[in-house]
Amino acid sequence: MEFEFDLIVVGAGSGGLAAAKRAASYGAKVAIIEVNQIGGTCVIRGCVPKKLMVYAAKSKKNMDSSEGYGLKNEGINFKSNILLKNVREEVSRLSNLHRNSLKKLNVTVFEGLGRFATQNELEIICPKTKKIKNKISSKKILISVGGKPKKLNIPGIDLAWTSDDIFELEKFPKSILIVGGGYIACEFASIFRNLGTEVIQLIRGQHLLNGFDEDLSLCLEESPTFTEINIISNTQLRSIKRVNGNLESTLDSGDKLLTNNILIATGREPNLLHLNLDFLNLKMDGQYLDVDEVNQTSNANIFAVGDIINKPNLTPVAIEQGRVFSDNFFNSQKRKVNYENIPKAVFTIPEISTVGLSEKKAIEIYSEKNIKIFKCKFTPMSNTFKENKSKCMLKIVVHKLTDKVLGCHMFGETSSEIIQMVSISLNAGITKKDFDITMALHPTISEEFVTMYG
């Protein structure tokens, strides 16, 4: 069979764009299918717009707490409609940049929903009319459709927002209930609270950020931002109904909460439903597509990257998966994705960063007697004259027998910028002695990583 394309990519998010551009740069004839703006979750409704909101929240917080530095605050009037408009304009600009880069590489862009007709053919569906616009074929097909917010199966759920809806708002609400304790929920809780919205946060467990090092969770809960948030733990939402223009939430305890709006941030799941995969009988890994080490599914010509496979659902991971895929299949390389020591950050205020093993995980693997913890907690110099003094916490997890650093964790300003360099060190197999003999840069926060002694 003669195919129209060497590669069809379904989904123009981080992984799909990376794969399409890399394959096209090697001379492959590539098509990409996208139903929304080019850019995917990260650019359109995730990392980028959310980080822009974080900058706004940080700026407002600094303005409100800088009188000790002689900066008299006569009252800052925050206009959420201006922020939201500017965020959408920046997202459109970035989306157009990606579209233009695809055009320069001669990648054909099809607008619509991609749906499998055969294992080598895809139909492109108009989302409004549900009619078939095009039908295209390829030797190889890469699925990179990303994830979507999970919705709770409770009465009234359609009255609530998901994270996707936040960036389409015209203005911020006066009060909001945020359901969830993960990084998306915590980041939005921090944004809304620091920009003046009253926030209630509902979590199923005892603490925020389940799965992160416990010291990071505790630091966040004790921070000035989250002490201003009403965190209700060990509780679940049972129903929602509208009451006089507001939303009434009923909890499993029977208690009721009244807020302007509700944000459901209980995680994300693969966005596979519209692809018509059933007849292909692809092997699954739970809710994810099962792939091998070169991202090949159980069907030899179909591949998958990004949030639809059971690997860390992070933008840089998806980008690397896409590039490795194209390097291997369109440039005869033999590359693999390195999933060791992937740095992670939570852009709360202050922010959280982590790389390697948590203390709990290290003990599970190596036993408590073989693990040594180095930790310090202090007020950063930047907060010296501020009324609300948030702390910094730095932590190193070390294997006693080898002196190898297994994990580094940080809570505090610029921690994401610092941990990026630490992750390089961990990949190089750094030891605690290597930290100790490294000269400190003073006065900085990061110097604490090389001045901690036990």
Q: Exactly one of 98, 274, 409, 442 is catalytic; which is it?
A: 442
Catalytic residue at 442?
yes
Please list, residue by residue across 213-244, b when 16 or more beta carbons sit within 10 angstroms of its beta carbon and e when fewer do: bebbbebbbebbbbeebebbeebebeebeeee
Neighbours of 352 (CB within 10 A): 29
Tokens at 315, concatenated: 């933008």
Q: Pick from 388, 45, 57: which is nearest to 197 by CA?
A: 57
Q: Say if residue 203 is exposed, middle or buried (CB neighbours under 10 Å; 0-12, 13-18, 19+).
A: buried
Q: Could you tell me if 124 and 31 are in contact, meaning their C-beta atoms sit under 8 angstroms apart?
A: no
Q: Say if residue 395 is exposed, middle or buried (CB neighbours under 10 Å; 0-12, 13-18, 19+).
A: buried
Neighbours of 205 (CB within 10 A): 12
Alpha-carbon gap, residue 146 to 141, rounded angstroms: 15
Checking 148-153 for CB contacts under 8 A at 24+ apart, the result is: 148/268, 148/269, 148/270, 148/271, 149/264, 149/265, 149/267, 149/268, 150/264, 150/266, 150/267, 150/268, 150/269, 151/264, 152/179, 152/237, 152/264, 152/266
Catalytic residues: 442
